[in-house]
Amino acid sequence: MKVTSLLLLTIGMLGAAELTPIHLRVESEPNPVGVSATPQFSWNLIGEGRGGMQKGYEILAASSPEKLTPETADLWKAKNTKSSQRGLLAWQGSVLKADQKVFWKVRVTNQKDVTGPWSEVAHFTVGKERKLSPVEQVATFESSNEVLNGIFKRNVATLKQRLDAYVSGNDSALGTGHQVQRSARDLSYLFESLPVLTDWVNKVYAGQNKLGYFPGGPKQKLAPVHSDAAIAVPHTVWWMGGNPAVVKKSWVQMEKQMVRREQSDPTIKGRIWGEPLQFKTELSPEFIDLCYFGMTSRLMYELAAPSNMPNNSIRYRDYSARIRNQFKKQYLDEKGQMKVPGQSAAVLALRSSVMDAPTRQPVIDALLKNLTEVKDIDTLSANPLLSVLTLTGNQQKAFELVSNPKSPWADPARKEFEGSGVVEWMMSRLAGIDTTSPGFRQFHVSPRIPEGDDLTWVKATYRAPSGEIHVHWEKKAKALHMKVKVPKGSLAILTLPYREGQNISEGGRTVKESFGVEIMRKDVAQQTISIIAQAGPYHFIIE
């Protein structure tokens, strides 16, 4: 609300140009086959200049392209609807039948009451069985560092191969629950993969056993980590795509698993259940189970709201408190050091919400003390490692580890490190593109720029659910150039490196003189400046 109210100061001066809808989607997929009879519609916007917010829309839907006129549309005529919503809009037309093919188009009106042209025609087919389409890549990443570029390309190729095989009918192609969980954000950044992940989740739900575990349980096929993916992956689908439907649909099943888990381990010490884990690790099953119970309790606390079950969050706040207390008793000594040795144990514990802020710091300090290379990091902790380092203020260390030509991420032979969160780190930390609300309705661009000359520029694009985001930062002659493009209909918070006494300009003007942007705060301690930006292209220079 604060961001929106601040921008009202300049919104009247901007956005007179018409807006054109593009990239029409139904159920997060272009031209899908096999959607429900009450599908959801989304589109992005393009237009000239800065600013530009949707004030209203018109939708026409018909049984043939020829009938897509205001006079003849026979399935839905949404005329002059006053709304800024352009994502996950519910069908409000005639009752649809199985195997019915529907054609549709949309046009929008901006805040100046200027109506733009109709979009191109899109279509969808209603059906009992969803037929997934081949996924499209929605992100690019380039940099001055060839090691990083090679890592990105290999991850694209590996994950695309898995997605293609899954879409072709190989249900096991995405891997085990552990593999899907650690790749979910990479997949969401790289490809239009949310329909695939949703389909995978639905198949996991179908395998939930009578005890409430998915897909296995005590003395069943799969152990913790694999089963916890049925909570972690829906969280990713909701957070990255903005659609709470998959969470609402599975809330009862997820709660059943969490309650059964607590009932089978009332003292919450962690326990052995299911098959042995299907990857190599030196960590005990009890340690892993407790860490993952901590992680899923935090996720369930967050998912209670989109599930329309806010009161149920109390249970997971209680679980989290009990888990932190028990973890401290079992795995921290009187000096606050981990009793379980190794990088992998420290990283997993730090990322799993099993420690509060005061108890985390000694563990962080011990991890960083000798972290000059990746030693015992396994596939379990490879995913959270880079996030842990960045979130604790050690982005430089993360960059040094990844960009080392001998690192496991850079080694083509270490396939297990592909799809392990490194793409998410590159896009959300190096390029700085990340969401502040589900589905990128509002997002931030906050690049963590390493020191020195080993990385002098990064250029990335990401077609988020709200539109395509462009970021290009470059170090030039003691100045930082930052080019950003915010998609139409969106707001962004740009958090850029900034030291007291530096000058910052945008397009050759001061920020105060520049249309569409407004300084929100300067943080002297963090050495950053935060700027609110409306839609449009910007070029900042900080020197």
CA 304 to chain CA centroid, nearest Å: 18
206-254 tens-digit pLDDT:
888 777 776 655 455 556 678 889 999 999 999 999 999 999 999 998 9
Residue 21 near residue 45 (C-beta atoms within 8 A): yes
DSSP-derived 3-state class of residue 444: strand
3-state secondary structure of 322: helix
CA distance 228 to 502: 47
| Rounded distance between C-alpha atoms, residue 28 and residue 25, angstroms | 5
- Give the gyration radius of the chain's Cα atoms: 24
CA distance 286 to 543: 52
Q: Which pLDDT belongs to residue 161?
A: 97
CB-based contact 24:43 (threshold 8 Å):
yes
How far does CA 224 lie from the centroid of its chain?
Answer: 23
The answer to whether the peptide bond before residue 215 is cis (omega within 30 degrees of 0) is yes
Q: What are the 10-residue block averages of pLDDT along the chain, 543 residues in total?
A: 43 67 96 95 94 94 97 94 94 95 97 95 94 95 98 97 96 90 96 95 84 62 75 96 93 90 90 74 89 95 94 93 95 92 91 90 88 78 88 90 93 92 96 95 94 94 97 95 96 94 94 93 92 96 96
Nearest one of 240, 231, 227 to 176, comparing CA atoms: 227
Burial grade of 488 (CB within 10 A; 0-12, 13-18, 19 or more):
buried
Tokens for 266, please give them. 């009332």
Terminal-residue alpha carbon distance, the chain = 32
Nearest to 285 by CA among 225, 338, 337, 327: 225
Q: How wide is the angle at C-alpha 509 spanned by C-alphas 508 and 511, nearest 5°?
A: 130
What is the Cα–Cα distance from 523 to 18, expressed in whole angstroms?
37
**pLDDT attached to residue 1:** 38
Given a contact cutoff of 8 angstroms between Cβ atoms, the answer to whether 531 and 520 are in contact is: yes
Output the CA torsion sign for 475, 480, 481, 482. Answer: positive
**Is the backbone of residue 467 left (phi > 0), alpha (psi -120 to 50) or beta?**
left
Q: What residues contact residue 516 under an 8 Å CB cut-off, 6+ apart?
A: 10, 14, 50, 51, 533, 534, 535, 536, 538
- pLDDT value at position 122? 98
| Cα separations in angstroms, 194 against 94, 249, 250, 464 | 27, 16, 16, 11
- What amino acid occupies position 246? V
Q: What's the length of the chain? A: 543
Q: What percentage of the chain exceeds 90 in pLDDT?
A: 72
236 phi/psi in degrees, rounded to 5: -65, -45
Residue 252: how many other CB atoms lie within 10 Å: 11
CB 365 within 8 A of CB 387: no
The alpha helices in 278-356, defined as continuous H runs, are 285-303, 313-331, 343-351
The pLDDT value given to residue 144? 98
Q: What is the pLDDT of residue 206?
A: 84
Among the residues of 168-214, which ranges form H helices? Answer: 177-190, 194-206
Burial level of 188, CB count in 10 A (0-12/13-18/19+)? buried
Helix 343-351 to helix 357-369 angle (10° resolution) is 150
State the helix-helix crossing angle for 229-241 and 285-303, rounded to 10 degrees: 40
- Cα within 13 Å of Cα(258), Cβ side: 29
Angle of the 194-206 helix axis to the 177-190 helix axis, nearest 10: 160
Q: How far apart are CA 250 and CA 231, in angstroms?
A: 9
